[in-house]
Structure 1
Amino acid sequence: MITLFRKIRQKLLSQNRVTRYLIYALGEILLVVIGILIALQLNIQKELADEKKETEQLLIGVQSDLKLEAKRIDFLIGYYGDITDGIQKILLNYQGKEVNTNQELGEYFLNTFEFRKFSKFNTSYQTLYGSGLLQEIEDKKLSEEIITHYSMQYLEWSLEIYQQRAGTFDFNNTPQFDPLDKLQAGTYYQSIPNFRLELEDNFRTDFKEFIKEPEVLNFLVDLLHQSELVFTNLNTYKESNLTLSNQVQKYLEQ
């Protein structure tokens, strides 16, 4: 093809047809420009297709992360639900509306000092956001919903507050509390260092009397309010998680 074009140019020059030569040269340049534009357009289309494919893969990753979050949320709902139920049973025992063994009361009480944190599964989101591909999602409402979901911190904050509230209880101010048999006898504990040790069948502390202490009651009521807030936030977050997961699925199916 190049050889053919060269022969045509040489023929026009040899015939001293300058005007036709210039027109031909312009036409040749135009063809080259059109070829470059077509190549650029094809390259742009390929890049867009690659970006779309990568974005979809990352959205699939986000959906997988959301499913992992949902499993964690279900675990925490059961976990903090048990803690809340335990506190309520202690208070019902204090009010004489329910009767539990000393062992049960002890377990309910010590369980309140344990907590589980929650962290978002956001690896795919971080990649999506950091690469700038989040802005390439055609459904702008979806991209905004994704950003909003991963920006929410209310659940993490409520769990941190629960941890702080649980850590404020001072066993030194409750002389009726007796360190458990599996702990070092006579040690002056600021708090119990481990609540999951293998305990004997019976606690040495009389929890039926222990829970009558005003400080203990105030602590439990305050912790009950906080655990209920945690429980509520867990359910709210679960709904948000499910909604976003459905939105991502709908977008991928388009």
Structure 2
Amino acid sequence: MIKLFNKIRKQLLIEDKMGRYLKYAIGEIILVMVGILLALQVNTWNNNRELKREELKVLKSLKQEFIVNLKKFDKAYEFHLNRKKAIETMVNVNHRELSLDSLRSLNRTVNNNYTFDPFQGIYNSVINSGKIELVSNDSLKLKIARFQDLINDYKEEETNTMGFVQQNVYPFQLDNYKLNFNLFFNVNQSSKVEQMEFKNNLIQLIESDKYKNLIVYIYGYMTGIFEEGPVLRDEMQSIINLLESEIKTYEN
């Protein structure tokens, strides 16, 4: 093609047709420029397509991780709700009207700890690698960038509650809760006398002023969990919804 253009230009010069030569040269320059612009446009289009492909991979990976973490959160939050109910029962019920199994279950629920521990490998990778910039939806990008702060706020409340239980409730129970090996691990194999003794000891513990104060403090610490929890969950669901919407946009 280039040889053909050169041949035409030489022929015009030989024939001393300068006007036609200039017009042809200008046309050739324009043609070359158009070719360059088309090549640049194709290159830009290919780059944009690759960026969109990478963005879609990021969106899908984040969506999977957020869905898993939403389920993990719901499980942890359900534990806190059950503990709240157990404390309210402990405070208001006549303990002697409850069976030994019920008392043990209530006491166990109050004393146990359970925390929300999300998977964050993908999230951290997206943030630390700068791939967050691939997300073209500015609202979604901002939500993702700020999400860690909500996790930290919520987990701080869980950590404070767990710390209080470990530092105060556990030592008190160890000092005042008389354990029987058979009763502790298998109530059904113990005698009625042992069961009654165990129940009386547990009731004495539960009805002590120190224990009552401790569970009231636990209840107070949990207030922060119930304030931060719904905020965190709503934001997780909002991010999942936005991720799904963006993914559908690219796949349709």
Cα displacement (A) at 1:151: 3.1
Q: How many residues align?
A: 239
**Quick check: which one's helix share is greater?**
2
Hey, what's the Cα distance between the residues in 1 that align with 2:29 and 2:177?
A: 94
| Post-superposition CA distance 1:199-232 (Å, at most 9, x none) | 4444847111112333222211111222343244
Cα displacement (A) at 1:24: 4.5
Hey, what's the Cα distance between the residues in 2 that align with 1:173 and 1:69?
A: 34
| Post-superposition CA distance 1:135-164 (Å, at most 9, x none) | 344432222122222331222111111211
TM-score (norm 2): 0.77
2:108 corresponds to which residue?
110
Hey, what's the Cα distance between the residues in 2 that align with 1:136 and 1:71?
A: 27
Kept in 2, the 8 Å contact 1:66–1:241? The answer is yes
Alignment of 1:120-135 (within 5 A): 120-130=118-128, 132-135=130-133
1:68 and 2:54 are equivalent in the alignment:
no
Alignment of 1:100-179 (within 5 A): 100-130=98-128, 132-152=130-150, 153-169=152-168, 175-179=175-179
Kept in 2, the 8 Å contact 1:112–1:166? The answer is no
3-state SS in 1 of match to 2:43: helix
3-state SS in 2 of match to 1:166: helix
Alignment of 1:1-254 (within 5 A): 1-15=1-15, 24-25=24-25, 27-93=27-93, 96=94, 99-130=97-128, 132-152=130-150, 153-169=152-168, 175-181=175-181, 198-201=185-188, 202=195, 204=198, 206-254=201-249
Hey, what's the Cα distance between the residues in 1 that align with 2:167 and 2:102?
A: 23
Unaligned runs of 5+ in 2: 189-194
Q: CA RMSD in A?
A: 3.2
Kept in 2, the 8 Å contact 1:83–1:227? The answer is no
Kept in 2, the 8 Å contact 1:145–1:244? The answer is yes
Kept in 2, the 8 Å contact 1:142–1:247? The answer is yes
TM-score (norm 1): 0.76
Query: CA 1:172–1:59 in structure 2 vs 1: closer, same or farther (change >3 Å)?
Result: closer
Cα displacement (A) at 1:71: 1.3
Hey, what's the Cα distance between the residues in 2 that align with 1:81 and 1:92?
A: 17
Unaligned runs of 5+ in 1: 184-196
| Post-superposition CA distance 1:99-146 (Å, at most 9, x none) | 323443233223333222223344443444345453344432222122
Kept in 2, the 8 Å contact 1:128–1:134? The answer is yes
| Percent identity of equivalent pairs | 19
Q: Name the aligned partner's letter for residue 222 of structure 1.
A: Y
Hey, what's the Cα distance between the residues in 2 that align with 1:119 and 1:171?
A: 22
Query: CA 1:23–1:249 in structure 2 vs 1: closer, same or farther (change >3 Å)?
Result: same
